[in-house]
Structure 1
């Protein structure tokens, strides 16, 4: 997780830095539905590579947005879910969904 001094001064730039990729936004969209396993996320996001998904999840985890839970089983069972901080992004994702729906009606 970055310190306050490492983040941009502008709050919008901070948000863009944390969520700045299409894939992170789509990962968050899915995680608002429920907890997901890695392969479930991968198959639900056509076009994402394993490396990009891994890097995005690690980044979101480091930023405190996503929690990674490892269940002590053989083989290991790992699930990703939103933290409380991640849940606070709900209005942002909802506003993007609403605007996307509105935009489509204007075409």
Structure 2
């Protein structure tokens, strides 16, 4: 099945920020990466942690990040089969960005709650 990601390669000015956002931009990818990093690494755990995401959207986001080599999908030969996700070595290079987003969000949330 061909991946129909919109604008994945759209970067007419070869902008590094656009390139980064093409990889991890959007509403869900940074959250999914953050949760997997915190050992929320199974599909059902992710769905419970992000109740507003549809099952299909979760599947799409995980597949895109797997295709982009940000995540690795590990299938355990058990009955029933167990699948876990982990951040790849390449994906780990994005963690400082996710950390910065988290730090900024915490500070802004505190400021907003005053």
Category of TM-score, reference length = shorter chain: 0.7 to 0.9
Taking structure 1 as the reference length, what is the TM-score of the superposition? 0.88
Q: Secondary structure at the match of 1:36?
A: coil
- Runs of 4+ off more than 4 Å: none
Task: Give unmatched runs, 5+ long, in structure 1.
Answer: 1-5
- Structure with the larger RCO, 1 or 2 (CA within 8 Å, 6+ apart): 1
Of 95, 105, 113 in structure 2, the residue corresponding to residue 100 of structure 1 is 105
Aligned-residue Cα RMSD (Å) equals 1.4
* Comparing 97-106 and 61-70, the one that deviates more: 97-106
Taking structure 2 as the reference length, what is the TM-score of the superposition? 0.83
Tell me, in whole angstroms, the C-alpha distance in 1 between the residues paired with 2:91 and 2:103.
Answer: 19
Aligned residues: 102
Task: Give unmatched runs, 5+ long, in structure 2.
Answer: 1-8
